[in-house]
Amino acid sequence: MAPQQSSTARPHKGAGVKARKGISARSRDVHHSHLAVRPRYRPPTRPEVNRLPNELLEIIFLLSLPSSLADPTPGSGQEFVAYMRRAEVRDYPNLLGCVCRRWRAIALASRALHSYIFLDLDMHDISYEKKRAAGAYYGAFLACSGTLPLTMSIDASAQEKLRQLLGAPFVAHLPRLRRVCIAIEDGIPTFGPFSVLPLFPNVRTPLLETVRLDVCSRENDWKAKNVVAYFARVGAAAEDLVQPDLRILHHAPKLSSFSLDDFGDTSFAHRLLQKAGLDFGGLTCLRLPEVPCCAPEIYKLVVDLPRLSSLRCAVRDGYEAPPRLDQLTSDGLPLEEFVNDQNESRSHNVQARRRRTALGELVLPDLVDLHITLVSNGFHTNAPRSNAFKRLLDMLILPCLATFAVSRRRIYGADFDWDEMDDPRMEELNSVLVHPLQSLMARSGCAIRHLALDAPRTDDGDVSRVLRALPTVTSLKLDAMACAGPNGERLLQDLTRRRAGAGSPDLLPHLRHLVIGNRKCSEDWQPSLPAILDMVEARWPVGWSACAIACVSVVLVQKRCGWNKITYDAQYEELPADVQERLQRIRSRGDIDLCIEQVRRDE
CB proximity list for 92: less than 8 A, separation 6 or greater: 65, 66, 69, 84, 107, 113, 116
**pLDDT tens track for 196-254:** 888 998 899 999 999 999 887 654 455 667 788 888 888 888 777 788 888 999 999 99
Q: Determine whether 421 is exposed, middle or buried from the number of CB atoms within 10 Å of its CB (0-12, 13-18, 19+).
A: middle
Domain that includes residue 65, residue range: 50-291
What mean pLDDT do residues 559-574 have? 47
282 within a domain of the structure (yes/no): yes
Give the sign of the dihedral formed by CA 508, CA 514, CA 519, CA 520: positive
Q: Please give the residue that has the higher pLDDT: either 546 or 210.
A: 210
Band of the pLDDT at 57, cuts 50, 70, 90? very high
What is the spatial distance between Cα 303 and Cα 289, in angstroms, rounded to a whole number? Answer: 18
pLDDT over 60 (residue 394): yes
pLDDT at 575 over 80: no
Confidence band (pLDDT; 50, 70, 90) for 149?
very high
Query: Does the pLDDT value for residue 255 go beyond 50?
Result: yes
Asked whether the CA dihedral 347, 350, 354, 360 is positive or negative, the reply is positive
* Higher per-residue confidence, 514 vs 571: 514
Residue 340 near residue 351 (C-beta atoms within 8 A): no
Mean residue pLDDT of the chain comes to: 76
Compute the distance between CA of residue 483 and CA of residue 476 in angstroms, rounded to an integer. 13
Q: What angle do CA 326, 331, 337 make, to 5 degrees?
A: 55
- The DSSP output letter for 415 is T
Cβ contacts of residue 429 below 8 Å, gap of 6+? 406, 453, 455, 457, 458, 462, 463, 465, 466
Q: How many CB atoms lie within 10 A of CB 272?
A: 19
Q: How far apart are CA 113 and CA 281, in angstroms?
A: 32
The single-letter DSSP state of residue 319 is: B
The answer to whether 203 and 250 are in contact (CB under 8 A) is yes
Which among 592, 508, 600 is positioned nearest to 555, based on CA atoms? 600
| Distant-in-sequence, close-in-space partners of 573: CB < 8 Å, separation ≥ 6 | 558, 559, 561
Considering the domain boundaries, does residue 196 fall inside one?
Answer: yes
Q: Per-residue pLDDT for 110 more than 90?
A: yes
Would you say residue 94 has pLDDT above 60?
Answer: yes
Backbone phi, then psi, for 72, in 5-degree steps? -70, 145
pLDDT at 70 over 70: yes
Residue 249 near residue 276, CB atoms below 8 Å: no
Cα distances from 253 to residues 193, 209, 249, 286, 420, in angstroms, run 28, 8, 10, 16, 44
C-alpha to C-alpha distance for 478 and 371, rounded to whole angstroms: 14
Instruction: Please give the average per-residue pLDDT across 173-197, as a whole number.
Output: 78
Within-domain flag for 472: no
Kindly state whether residue 146 falls inside one of the protein's structural domains. yes
Domains identified in the chain, total number = 1
Using N-to-C axis directions, what is the helix angle for 54-63 and 101-109, rounded to 10°? 80
Q: What is the DSSP letter of 302?
A: H
Q: Which residues of 290-317 are buried (b: 16+ CB within 10 A; e: fewer)?
A: bbbbbbbbbbbbbeebeebbbbbbbbbb
By mean pLDDT, which of 25-29, 90-94, 167-171, 584-588 is the weakest? 25-29
Q: How far apart are CA 116 and CA 82, in angstroms?
A: 17
Looking at the domain assignment, is residue 403 inside a domain? no
102 vs 111: CA distance, rounded Å: 16
Q: Which residues of 399-409 are buried (b: 16+ CB within 10 A; e: fewer)?
A: eebbbbbbbbb
Asked whether residue 183 is domain-assigned, the answer is yes
Q: Please check whether residue 467 lies inside any domain of the structure.
A: no
pLDDT in tens, 321-342: 444 333 433 333 333 333 334 3
Task: Look at residue 186 in the predicted model and tell me its pLDDT.
Answer: 60
Q: Residues 7-16: pLDDT tens digits?
A: 445 555 555 5
Asked whether the predicted pLDDT for residue 421 surpasses 50, the reply is no
pLDDT above 70 (res 425): no
Our CA dihedral for 264, 266, 271, 272, rounded to 10 degrees, sits at -80
Provide the whole-model pTM: 0.78
pLDDT at 599 over 70: no
pLDDT at 568: 39
Provide, rounded to the nearest whole percent, the portion of the chain with pLDDT above 70.
Answer: 68
225 lies in some domain: yes
Residue pLDDT, tens place only, 17-46? 445 545 455 544 444 444 445 555 566 566
